[in-house]
Structure 1
């Protein structure tokens, strides 16, 4: 009798395990089918259909001359992260009109280069009607980008400035930066061949946005493998979350000014691009 009960118990455990496995596989399958956001864990590895890992070459300069593609953004919008994703996906270094030694020696061998040897060139400058035939335009909530830029200017790529920095200096900083947000994007959307990429969309559905970027680069004959970017999607220059809400940093007057900027941005992008998914109203404080 005891042996029969033990056998029945083991059978129930086995059936329960099979049901759990089936449920997980079903969720993953439906997630891919519906193209919904999915969190990637280090426990998951990316394989191709044959079961082998994708071939992801180390980052290098291009051996052929590539078209000039800008990676344009307002400072503090996650440009370094997107550069990392582009490099992982294509195996080709990204360039920059700037010369950041910290980046050059930590995974960005194309830093300071803005020629045909790099897949895209980082710039925070306005579009001047020359130099670039195409552009990837990265857009982030101005509340987040201005705060991120302030931290970079007063610390480094991953650090936090001391509390005393958030005094009068912060107020002057935001006033100056708010004035420059709209003109930057207004200049770049004049370019005929531009791909808008939203920072929040990258965080919510990285696979979908990488597929969009890959298709855009493919039009210039640049190949890439999205799986290579997914395999190492974080990079080394993410700033740690402090847990402090954005409301803490912005006064009522500053919020009114930034919310007005957001309204202008939303109208400008809807007039220029079709099928903009980002609801910029959700950015407001």
Structure 2
């Protein structure tokens, strides 16, 4: 597949909210532009370092989505995918923080006990159990239904070994950058969208929630193992992640 004809769909967990614009090394209008797009239009992101929001054509290197793979053959234009997986415990909590305090804020403790009228459980508990189903369903569909090649990246490994993981992603994309570009990416890898861990001693998850987390993680682990064997690929970080 030629690079020009390949559009890559970056799949992240629904509630991840970690920047998938991994290679934004210069602005769109620069002499050399390496940017990634998105199926969404977040004007806040567009104004603060993500100039290719809502761009899904060949002018961007890769396209972000938090959703399931598009399977409509007539309109299908994405032939490969980078699947960025984050531990569901952290992903679900990050999304709950986002719901109450945006991209970088932290939800106050009292909202974890809040309960809607006529509900038998807290809003937090309802959120967790719904997102557990969504998290598993999203990964199941990508790993079992997407017909193209998939490169899996584990969020925790990406954070810990950013340069190495970026090089692997670039290799999968069949795209080469200079050492200067990579150094620039490393220098600016965090940006402004970093949530402060305000409550270090606060764990909103119950024992039953942890049991649910462990069950879906193990099911996705088995599915990833099946995918690896079927496609003769190996994803680094799998054992440490799950």
TM-score > 0.5 by shorter chain: yes
| SS class of match (2:24) | helix
Query: Is 1:73 matched with 2:12?
Result: yes
Instruction: Indicate conservation of the 8 Å contact 1:126/1:184, yes or no.
Output: yes
Structure 1 stretches of 5 or more lacking a match? 1-63
Give the TM-score taking structure 2 as reference length. Answer: 0.80
Counterpart residue number, 1:124: 66
Counterpart residue number, 1:175: 129
CA RMSD, 1 decimal: 2.2
Give the TM-score taking structure 1 as reference length. Answer: 0.69
> Once the two structures are superposed, what CA deviation does each residue of 1:262-281 show, in whole Å capped at 9, x if it has no partner?
10011111111232332457
Aligned with 2:206 (options 219, 242, 251): 251
Aligned with 1:159 (options 98, 102, 105): 105
1:36-51 alignment runs, 5 A limit: none
| SS class of match (1:133) | strand
What is the aligned length? Answer: 214
Between structures 1 and 2, the one with greater helix share: 1
| SS class of match (1:188) | helix
> Once the two structures are superposed, what CA deviation does each residue of 1:164-205 show, in whole Å capped at 9, x if it has no partner?
211211111111111111221122223331111111111221
> Once the two structures are superposed, what CA deviation does each residue of 1:10-57 show, in whole Å capped at 9, x if it has no partner?
xxxxxxxxxxxxxxxxxxxxxxxxxxxxxxxxxxxxxxxxxxxxxxxx
Q: Relative to structure 2, which stretch is displaced further, 255-264 or 234-243? A: 234-243
Instruction: Indicate conservation of the 8 Å contact 1:68/1:116, yes or no.
Output: yes
Quote the offset at 1:78 in angstroms. 4.8
Counterpart residue number, 2:42: 100
| SS class of match (1:86) | coil
Aligned with 1:186 (options 136, 140, 160): 140
Instruction: Indicate conservation of the 8 Å contact 1:263/1:281, yes or no.
Output: no
Counterpart residue number, 2:236: 277
Structure 1 residues 171, 111: CA separation in 2 closer, same or farther (over 3 Å shift)? same
Instruction: Indicate conservation of the 8 Å contact 1:66/1:117, yes or no.
Output: no
Quote the offset at 1:206 in angstroms. 1.2
| SS class of match (1:164) | helix
| SS class of match (1:234) | coil
Counterpart residue number, 1:52: none
Q: Hey, what's the Cα distance between the residues in 2 that align with 1:210 and 1:282?
A: 18
Q: Hey, what's the Cα distance between the residues in 2 that align with 1:245 and 1:142?
A: 19
Structure 2 stretches of 5 or more lacking a match? 27-31, 114-121
Q: Hey, what's the Cα distance between the residues in 2 that align with 1:267 and 1:245?
A: 32
1:14-33 alignment runs, 5 A limit: none
Instruction: Indicate conservation of the 8 Å contact 1:65/1:117, yes or no.
Output: no
Instruction: Indicate conservation of the 8 Å contact 2:17/2:95, yes or no.
Output: no
Instruction: Indicate conservation of the 8 Å contact 2:8/2:81, yes or no.
Output: yes
> Once the two structures are superposed, what CA deviation does each residue of 1:223-282 show, in whole Å capped at 9, x if it has no partner?
323223113222110111235267x11111111111100100111111112323324576
Q: Hey, what's the Cα distance between the residues in 2 that align with 1:193 and 1:245?
A: 41
